[in-house]
Structure 1
């Protein structure tokens, strides 16, 4: 659907909305090509593997991601859910390689983020390649955002793409699953309490999406003393987050140093209640 057709009512009823057209196919392809160029030839001066920069907080080191977080079509849709005042709390590339058994188990995003369990967050998932049942697209359970946070179990399973291999200790019936099929340039939005998961990619192409986490300034980090966000639009009269500036260039020394600072704080946040270190933040 066009952004102009999206009113937000379906989102609050179901906890999600899709497909929303936000990028052209050419724009989506350009973002994908840029990321794959870095993968083919990683920049010098990185303090950790490139995959970690892409997997979490990519907006800190990649100008393209910061721009996508302010893309007019993306922002117009998110405003209809959260209102005019927006921050970007995180952004990442979520990639499943072709013919892989990697999965995402049923979970709720807000479980470990330390941001509370309210309604002031929305995740935008922008397809950079076809997200189909065959390629392991997301699955939602309509209306599940109306539940409280459910008990989760950390599995640290190597085939689980989540940071802790977290899985809800609640069985989801297959007939309740809604496949989130997206073509390149299309976006889904989902609530932080939404039950969601995704299966393996048995297709011949990698399944690649850009995920952007939007919050309102009212939110506040509860698991640690400091947290960071990038102003996107509107006003912030709360100043609960330290601001992340746009990177001046891809993987600049300044942005890499800031990335390490943010990740050190996020490691404390995400490790709450875990007996193991969270590898992606270490």
Structure 2
């Protein structure tokens, strides 16, 4: 038995690349999180600007606390070990009805890590269902790194519009259906995507990318991450908790972290900061 996951759930994750649903908040707590997000959106012309939706936990104290939430970390520790970094976070929002969708892809394509060892915790703040454009995954596809290409489709919500080149047998895919307050955990190599949200209700999730502190960035590149549990191994510059929402020092630190992150993802310094949704 792990701290949060049982032996069957751990074995399922190792085999399939995903485990769900896992209850980490009540529906009332999820509703409060949604309200807090929508208050931020209302104060910023109705949306969180893309540049602020990359690692927003560096800008908003309650999101910093969220990536440190013990039940989430307990489950991730069961899969990655005791020393954990948060490598990234973002809101994943589909306002419906819309044609926006996410192509089949693997998360680790542009992360540039020394090992493809990571876990994405995908927290639902509203129900995530097939009707609202919830994620679909191909169990067992987490054993091979696959080539990707630019899909060329502006409706693709991924930041680099990437899609896997190999043909995907969608008949083997499963729907990752989550109630508000539940999360899924998935491997960075599992093939996944999501269809459009065809209903008026918003689909709101918060994706948190965790890695073991023992791994680093390839090619000697220096990047930033948040130590969330255990010991730091010196592979990343450590990020700081914001003193208050959108505090000037937090904005400066956030911009610095994003510059380094975009240099890794886009392969050059000075790339435009921003975060489009991953499914």
| TM-score (norm. length: structure 2) | 0.91
Matches within 5 A, 1:17-32: 17-32=19-34
Aligned to 2:252: 257
> How far off its partner does 1:4 sit?
4.3
Aligned to 1:170: 166
Distance 1:53 1:151 in 2: 27
Aligned to 1:132: 129
Two-structure CA RMSD over aligned residues (Å): 2.0
Q: Secondary structure of the residue that 2:65 maps to in structure 1?
A: helix
For structure 2, the 5+ residue unaligned runs are none
> How far off its partner does 1:185 sit?
0.4
The 8 Å contact of residues 86 and 215 in structure 1, kept in 2 or not, is answered as yes
Aligned with residue 231 of structure 1, among 221, 227, 237? 227
**Mean Cα deviation higher: 66-75 or 186-195:** 66-75
Aligned to 1:79: 77
The 8 Å contact of residues 115 and 215 in structure 2, kept in 1 or not, is answered as no
Pick closer, same or farther for the CA change 1:156–1:29 going to 2, 3 Å: farther
Pick closer, same or farther for the CA change 1:15–1:56 going to 2, 3 Å: same
Q: Secondary structure of the residue that 1:50 maps to in structure 2?
A: coil
Q: Secondary structure of the residue that 1:261 maps to in structure 2?
A: helix
Aligned to 1:97: 95
Aligned to 2:16: 14
Matches within 5 A, 1:209-224: 209-222=205-218
- 1:185 aligns to 2:186 (yes or no): no
Q: Secondary structure of the residue that 1:9 maps to in structure 2?
A: helix
The 8 Å contact of residues 119 and 209 in structure 2, kept in 1 or not, is answered as yes
The 8 Å contact of residues 11 and 190 in structure 1, kept in 2 or not, is answered as yes
| TM-score (norm. length: structure 1) | 0.90
The 8 Å contact of residues 5 and 78 in structure 2, kept in 1 or not, is answered as no
- The alignment covers a number of residue pairs equal to 269
Q: Secondary structure of the residue that 1:246 maps to in structure 2?
A: coil
- 1:153 aligns to 2:155 (yes or no): no
